[in-house]
Amino acid sequence: MPFRRPVPDLQTLSAAAMSALLLTSAAKHFREPEFFHPVVPDFLCRDDSGGQPNGPLAVLSREEWVAVSGLLEATAAVGLLVPATRRAAAGCVTALFAAFLAGHVDALRKAYGPEGSPRRRRVHTLRLPLQAPLIAWAWTLTRRNRRP
């Protein structure tokens, strides 16, 4: 009798791929945090220079927001790999990607502003539309797995 390995279903493979993407991104948060600085909106960033506060949501510095989002991505990546937590983790990833939209819109607005550069315009023009398929992909993982 030949040994037959069970074939993972499509949702498991999709969750593993999303997990790999999130782990790669989380690692980049700590290796190159400055890459993520433009997508953290100013209204979320605490002003440590003694100037005017940026608002009631400005509780962390830009660097702290990047680190926290990296930790959230790493945690969600692990959650996607565990079948018992996959649906909840996928819902959290969907919300996380949706929340990131504000940062991407803000970064795009700044890229086309007076301080923007052609490179920043190109980067942020490409990054913003990528959020839609990521949100949709994460949302598909919130569905119950249907085996034939």
Phi, psi (deg, nearest 5) at residue 62: -55, -45
* Within a domain: 147: no
pLDDT at 86: 96
DSSP for residue 33:
G
Domain count, the chain: 1
Lookup: tokens for 52: 């005017």
* Within a domain: 59: yes
* Within a domain: 5: no
The yes-or-no verdict on residue 49 having pLDDT over 90 is no
pLDDT at 44: 87
Tell me what the mean pLDDT of segment 89-103 comes to.
95
CA dihedral 88, 90, 91, 95 (to 10 degrees): 140
* Within a domain: 145: no
Cβ–Cβ under 8 Å, residues 106 and 55? no
Lookup: tokens for 97: 């990607």
Looking at the DSSP bridge assignments, the partners of residue 49 are none
Question: Model-level pTM?
Answer: 0.84
* Within a domain: 30: yes
Q: Could you tell me the residue range of the domain that residue 94 belongs to?
A: 10-140
Rg of the chain over Cα atoms, rounded to whole angstroms, equals: 18
* Within a domain: 1: no
* Within a domain: 92: yes
* Within a domain: 3: no
Looking at the chain, how many residues does it have? 148
The yes-or-no verdict on residue 147 having pLDDT over 60 is no
